[in-house]
């Protein structure tokens, strides 16, 4: 599976927009390779990567919703698993199992990926996910 390459600049305050698609009833995984502004692998194994002065590692969270409404509570259609496959190498993925994707209704959703170190949270990625219905069933 191809990786999505992104440059992460914590000082910019902006996220990278990446659109994805998934098939209902299938396992979903999207890989991300993250570099800093000097094109070096972003080190998610230590918060010293952004000069926070601590040595706690990073965590991630990600959800998708059908739509976002200002002023109302938004219920996640799915919550992704976020896994740092090489934290020091700037590699992580988001994934959903086939049981989770089976319950999704076809259509366009929005999602984001948040990463945090200590109390500092960054929206690193956002975009749309097109959920496509399955035609065949798995054996």
Domains in the chain: how many in total?
A: 1
- Hey, is 119 helix, strand or coil? coil
Residue-wise pLDDT tens digits, 36-75: 999 999 988 875 544 444 445 789 999 999 876 655 566 7
Domain CATH number, residue 126: 2.60.40.10
Residue-wise pLDDT tens digits, 92-131: 999 999 999 999 999 999 999 999 988 889 999 999 999 9
Q: Is 99 among the domain residues?
A: yes
In a 13 Å sphere around the CA of 75, the CA atoms on its Cβ side amount to: 1
CB within 8 A of 61, min separation 6: which ones?
79, 82, 113, 114, 116
Residue-wise pLDDT tens digits, 15-38: 999 999 999 999 999 999 999 999
Full domain range(s) for residue 46: 3-132
Q: Is 106 among the domain residues?
A: yes
Q: Which residues of 9-22 are buried (b: 16+ CB within 10 A; e: fewer)?
A: ebeeeebbebebeb
Q: State the first-to-last Cα distance of the chain, in angstroms, to the nearest integer.
A: 23
């Amino acid at each position: 599976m191809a990786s999505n390459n992104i440059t992460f600049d914590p000082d910019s305050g902006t996220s990278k927009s990446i659109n994805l698609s998934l098939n209902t009833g299938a396992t979903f995984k999207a890989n991300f390779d993250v570099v800093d502004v000097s094109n070096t692998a972003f080190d998610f194994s230590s918060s010293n990567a952004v000069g926070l002065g601590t040595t706690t590692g990073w965590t991630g969270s990600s959800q998708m919703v059908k739509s976002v409404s200002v002023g109302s509570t938004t219920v996640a259609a799915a919550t992704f698993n976020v896994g740092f496959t090489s934290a020091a190498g700037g590699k992580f993925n988001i994934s959903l199992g086939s049981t989770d994707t089976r319950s999704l209704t076809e259509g366009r959703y929005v999602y984001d990926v948040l990463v945090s170190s200590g109390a500092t949270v960054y929206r690193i990625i956002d975009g749309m996910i097109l959920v496509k219905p399955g035609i065949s069933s798995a054996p």
